[in-house]
Amino acid sequence: LAAEDKAKVNALLLALHDADVAALLENLSVEDRRDLVPLIRLEERPDVLAELDENVRDEVISQLSVAETAAAVASLETDDAVYVLETLDASEQRQVLASIPRLERLLLEEALSYPEDSAGRLMQRELIAVPNFWSVGETIDHLRYMHAQMPDRMPYAFHEIYVVDPGHRLEGSVSLDRLVCAAHAAPLASIMIRELRVLRTDTDQEEVAVLFRKRDLIAAPVVHDTSGRLVGVITIDDVVDVIDETYEDEIMHLGGVGADDLHRHTLATARARFTWLLVNLGTAVLASLVIGMFDATIEHMVALAVLMPIVASMGGNAGTQTLTVFVRALAMRELTTSNALRVIAKELLVGLINGGLFAVIAGGIAWLWFDSPFIAGIIGAAMIINLVVAALAGAIIPLVIERLRVDPAVASAVFVTTVTDVVGFFAFLGLASWFIR
Amino acid sequence: LAAEDKAKVNALLLALHDADVAALLENLSVEDRRDLVPLIRLEERPDVLAELDENVRDEVISQLSVAETAAAVASLETDDAVYVLETLDASEQRQVLASIPRLERLLLEEALSYPEDSAGRLMQRELIAVPNFWSVGETIDHLRYMHAQMPDRMPYAFHEIYVVDPGHRLEGSVSLDRLVCAAHAAPLASIMIRELRVLRTDTDQEEVAVLFRKRDLIAAPVVHDTSGRLVGVITIDDVVDVIDETYEDEIMHLGGVGADDLHRHTLATARARFTWLLVNLGTAVLASLVIGMFDATIEHMVALAVLMPIVASMGGNAGTQTLTVFVRALAMRELTTSNALRVIAKELLVGLINGGLFAVIAGGIAWLWFDSPFIAGIIGAAMIINLVVAALAGAIIPLVIERLRVDPAVASAVFVTTVTDVVGFFAFLGLASWFIR
């Protein structure tokens, strides 16, 4: 990216899709990014901003003037504009909003007044609503007229039109394929679909995603939570973003990192991960305390120290297996009160089966290694105990955490491995010391 | 679900959406499911089959006659029919195909001839293609005529129409919103969009998902990989299924379980998880061998046995953090040769920073606990070494595994924890024995 070749870079940028420009910016080093930003003219390509990772966007926006940012935000569709605005800090947000034309600003302020992660934040305000007494022909004529005369009052893309009463309350929706296939004179009311479950501005975004997935929707209207008026539309591309974000959160949280870790600065990353490692240090010390209870036994029989990580590690892995299945099932709402008991019973049985098998295998290894049937018996018994406890902990802990309205993906793993470490060391060393005495 | 209330159950089933019937079936016990299946009349509600989890679908299909299954499959859209067919075993598949009317059968056999996880498997054959010399008005008239006269030759839903030349080669696509907004007399060629990147029957499904996401598509045409003829269309709802499946695989594999674990039978679950636990036992024994090398040192200073899991566990967690970030970035194609080195350098720095901090904290704890500056120094040094090595392993191992064309989510975790266990025990006990000698 030599600074001289500005013309070349410009030509290249023009040929790239907005999403690719965003990906390019994300992959550059901080310095190269700083050089590239002025060349992109973001106020003319606002969608690049909406596609950027949050950390990178913060950096890019800090390079733009308030007026430039405001121009970019104002020319985005409302859903993308809200998405960019909600990550700015409060004073930046106020400054940018103040520089946006009044009508657009009011819409954005209203959107920002809906709760975070609600349908109200996700929806765009641009939609096609027509009166309930129109026919198919009138509607198509209206669309053609709007498109030719006032194209900037049309959504950038739309898949359905909405039929409303004089109070702008939603009566039904007509997908465009139904519209183009219907007879010219047919009244809209005869082909529209009345929604049984209408999204409200305060509906949770994950619930929106569940509905889209179940019904294979590509768009859905949103009504105001109190007035019942039609205020926006959520499209599938926004829902795909929600789906991506939800999975991203789950994977990253299960791995003990924040969702935006990759593009964070080094110090911010270290600080965020430190917290998780500190919690883990606490549980590791707890496990060490358990080992410390049996230091006399270990001194007496050092083979125990050699083998003890095996029991704990197998328990930890078995617990993580069960935990993963339960966290997933909870996220997909596949665990109900009617099947939870049956699934827990299955986990216990799986723990018992694999516990038994690994009791034999690990016992055999210990016997061969230390030529001691005593140690073989102890490790076998501890293995069964720990794998059954691991199954129980991996199943029950996420259920309890979900009940406490905390995300099981964040908090479960550390509790489960604490349980399997403590139980693993306690069972193995405790049984040994009890039999030796 | 009392058997007497069949009429009630029937009324209930009719009121439920296909996806909800499928969810209901999945949540029932094996026995209740067997009672419910005959009441659903799946040949009239084939979409229920397409929505079911693979294990449950196998079970349900085993209850149906070949004729019933064939009737259900034949009335599905081709993409869903292929989805159901590809999970049957080869002889079942042949039997069912033989009972399907010839035209439909040929389409399905062709679809099954495309590689697994390809666009050819994902696409539906039902689409609207029109000649390149038609106008908007002619197209709408054609759609109205088809809809009125031969509705079963129309796709169930469509969002775009495709413009083809006389050889049925794709020239462009027209989204329905462009179609309804355009003037009656406008030629299609003037409003169609020429696709720059056209999907082929052999395009990989994950690449399809990347394209849909980047371009916010709701449908995309697929051309035959050799003839270049337009053969199908992929819609966003199928892509959402691919996205779900990909994430599901990644999360489950990182957790050491198979993607369909929840609905598997107990024995099959135990067997699948056994493999993963066996690999883990191997690595645990390796770690034990390292400990065994230092048994004399441990006998001399039993505090080492008490503290040694702390170093290994912190390394394992730090390695998993880095690993998660790298597996994610690889899956999202956010790691390129241009930024990989920079991200690895960041990981090393994060490892060094947190290694230093936890050296002080763990050292302090060890000092207080055992009143020994020697042990404190050893655990501190081992902590720094292990957290830096964990960063390196967590970053490099998924990159290498990806290069070997194996899914990093499946295989990386076990290698990383092996490295951090071995290095953790070796650094801690090795340093101690070296200084004691």
Tell me: the pLDDT tens digits for A329-359? 888 888 887 788 889 999 999 999 999 999 9
> Do A176 and A144 contact (CB within 8 A), yes or no?
no
> Do B219 and B127 contact (CB within 8 A), yes or no?
no
Closest-CA residue of chain A to B336:
A27
* pLDDT score of B175 more than 80: yes
Count CB-CB contacts under 10 A for residue A239. Answer: 24
Most confident of A32-41, A104-113, B131-140: B131-140
Note the pLDDT of residue A24.
84
A144 with B318: Cβ contact below 8 A: no
* pLDDT score of A5 more than 80: no
The answer, for A300 touching chain B at a CB cutoff of 8 Å, is no
Half-sphere exposure of B74 (CA within 13 A, CB side): 18
At B351, the amino acid letter reads: G
At B220, the amino acid letter reads: A
* pLDDT score of B262 more than 80: yes
Best A180, A244, A332, A369 member to test B by mutation, with max B CBs in 10 Å, is A180
Q: How far apart are CA B89 and CA B94, in angstroms?
A: 9
A17 with B159: Cβ contact below 8 A: no
The answer, for A23 touching chain B at a CB cutoff of 8 Å, is yes
The whole-angstrom distance between A390's CA and the closest CA on chain B is 13
The whole-angstrom distance between B283's CA and the closest CA on chain A is 9
Q: Which residues of A touch B243 (CB under 8 A)?
A: 240, 243-244
pLDDT band at B4 (very low <50, low <70, confident <90, very high): low
Tokens standing for residue B246: 């990909």
Note the pLDDT of residue A1.
52
Q: How far apart are CA A257 and CA A249, in angstroms?
A: 9
Closest residue to B251, CB basis, from A214, A254, A317: A254
Q: Which residues of B touch A269 (CB under 8 A)?
A: 346, 350
Q: Which residues of B touch A274 (CB under 8 A)?
A: 354, 357
B254 with A324: Cβ contact below 8 A: yes
> Do B350 and B391 contact (CB within 8 A), yes or no?
yes
Note the pLDDT of residue B364.
96
Note the pLDDT of residue A2.
55
Note the pLDDT of residue A3.
55
Q: How far apart are CA B110 and CA B84, in angstroms?
A: 15
Of B240, B233, B237, B229, the closest CA to residue B174 belongs to: B233
Q: How far apart are CA B349 and CA B344, in angstroms?
A: 9
The rounded percent of chain B whose pLDDT value lies above 70 is: 99
The answer, for B177 touching chain A at a CB cutoff of 8 Å, is yes
Helix (H), strand (E) at residue B339: helix B337-370
Most confident of A117-121, A352-356, B204-208: A352-356
The answer, for A305 touching chain B at a CB cutoff of 8 Å, is yes
Among the four given CATH numbers 3.40.190.10, 3.10.580.10, 3.40.50.11890, 3.40.50.2000, the one describing domain A129-237: 3.10.580.10
Closest-CA residue of chain B to A282:
B310
For domain A265-436, the CATH class is mainly alpha
> Do B247 and B194 contact (CB within 8 A), yes or no?
no
Of A88, A135, A142, the closest CA to residue A112 belongs to: A88
pLDDT band at B3 (very low <50, low <70, confident <90, very high): low
pLDDT band at B2 (very low <50, low <70, confident <90, very high): low
Interior/surface letters A20-57, b for 16+ CB within 10 angstroms, e for the rest = ebbbbbbbbeeeebeebbeebebbebbbbbbbbbebbb
Give me chain B's average pLDDT, please. 89
* pLDDT score of B139 more than 90: yes
* pLDDT score of A365 more than 60: yes
Instruction: For residue range A13-60, list pLDDT tens digits in order.
Output: 877 888 888 888 888 888 888 888 888 787 788 888 888 888 888 888
Instruction: For residue range A253-273, list pLDDT tens digits in order.
Output: 888 888 777 888 888 899 989
Closest-CA residue of chain B to A345:
B266
Closest-CA residue of chain A to B387:
A277
B318 with A277: Cβ contact below 8 A: yes
The rounded percent of chain A whose pLDDT value lies above 90 is: 50
The rounded percent of chain A whose pLDDT value lies above 70 is: 99
Cα-to-chain-centroid distance, residue B173:
29
A284 with B257: Cβ contact below 8 A: no
* pLDDT score of B164 more than 80: yes
pLDDT band at A375 (very low <50, low <70, confident <90, very high): very high
Helix (H, G, I), strand (E, B) or coil at A255: coil
Question: What angle, 0 to 180 degrees and rounded to 10, lies between the N-to-C axes of helices B303-331 and B373-403?
Answer: 30
The rounded percent of chain B whose pLDDT value lies above 90 is: 50
Best A20, A162, A216 member to test B by mutation, with max B CBs in 10 Å, is A216
Q: How far apart are CA B106 and CA A43, in angstroms?
A: 52
Q: How far apart are CA B243 and CA A46, in angstroms?
A: 26
Note the pLDDT of residue A236.
94
First to last CA, chain B: 74
Instruction: For residue range B278-294, list pLDDT tens digits in order.
Output: 999 999 999 999 999 99
Instruction: For residue range B365-390, list pLDDT tens digits in order.
Output: 999 999 999 999 999 999 999 999 99
Q: Which residues of A touch B287 (CB under 8 A)?
A: 309-310, 313
B270 with A181: Cβ contact below 8 A: no
Note the pLDDT of residue A4.
60
Average pLDDT for B90-119: 88
Q: Which residues of A touch B336 (CB under 8 A)?
A: 27
Note the pLDDT of residue A314.
94
The answer, for B273 touching chain A at a CB cutoff of 8 Å, is yes
Taking the domain B3-113, which CATH number applies?
1.25.60.10
* pLDDT score of A436 more than 90: no
Helix (H, G, I), strand (E, B) or coil at B32: helix
> Do A49 and A61 contact (CB within 8 A), yes or no?
yes
A320 with B144: Cβ contact below 8 A: no
Bridge partner residues of B131 (DSSP): B164
The answer, for A177 touching chain B at a CB cutoff of 8 Å, is yes
Instruction: For residue range A197-209, list pLDDT tens digits in order.
Output: 789 999 999 899 9
Closest residue to A175, CB basis, from B157, B175, B267: B157
* pLDDT score of B135 more than 90: yes
Tokens standing for residue A301: 């029989």
The whole-angstrom distance between B243's CA and the closest CA on chain A is 8
Note the pLDDT of residue A325.
92
> Do A425 and A419 contact (CB within 8 A), yes or no?
no
For A232-336, where are the alpha helices, taking DSSP H only? Answer: 236-254, 266-292, 295-300, 303-331
Q: Which of A104-118, B9-23, B108-122, B373-387 has the lowest mean pLDDT?
A: B9-23
Portion 389-428 of A in contact with B at CB < 8 A: 421, 425
Q: How far apart are CA A217 and CA A210, in angstroms?
A: 10
Q: Which residues of A touch B283 (CB under 8 A)?
A: 313
The answer for residues whose C-beta is within 8 angstroms of residue B333's C-beta and 6 or more apart is B210
Bridge partner residues of B200 (DSSP): B223
Average pLDDT for A238-262: 87
CATH 3.10.580.10 fits B129-236, yes or no: yes
Helix (H, G, I), strand (E, B) or coil at A230: strand
* pLDDT score of A91 more than 80: yes
* pLDDT score of B176 more than 80: yes
Q: How far apart are CA A425 and CA A389, in angstroms?
A: 13
Closest-CA residue of chain B to A265:
B346
The answer, for B255 touching chain A at a CB cutoff of 8 Å, is yes
Q: Which residues of A touch B216 (CB under 8 A)?
A: 237
At A105, the amino acid letter reads: R
Map out the domains of chain A as residue ranges: 3-113, 129-237, 265-436
Instruction: For residue range A313-326, list pLDDT tens digits in order.
Output: 999 999 999 999 99
Q: Which of A347-356, B21-30, B117-126, B237-246 has the lowest mean pLDDT?
A: B21-30
Tokens standing for residue B135: 């106008």
Helix (H), strand (E) at residue B274: helix B266-292
Helix (H, G, I), strand (E, B) or coil at A28: coil
Q: How far apart are CA B192 and CA B221, in angstroms?
A: 13
Count CB-CB contacts under 10 A for residue B171. Answer: 17
Q: How far apart are CA B354 and CA A271, in angstroms?
A: 8
Question: What angle, 0 to 180 degrees and rounded to 10, lies between the N-to-C axes of helices A78-85 and A102-113?
Answer: 70
The answer, for A247 touching chain B at a CB cutoff of 8 Å, is yes
Position of tokens 């050889």? B167
Give me chain A's average pLDDT, please. 89
If you write DSSP's letter for every residue of A133-177 in order, what string do you get? Answer: T-BHHHHHHHHHHHHHH-GGGS-SS-SEEEEE-TT-BEEEEEEHH
Kindly state the DSSP code that residue B126 receives in the 8-state scheme. -
Strands (E), B77-186: 129-131, 160-164, 170-175
Note the pLDDT of residue A144.
94
Q: How far apart are CA B429 and CA B423, in angstroms?
A: 10
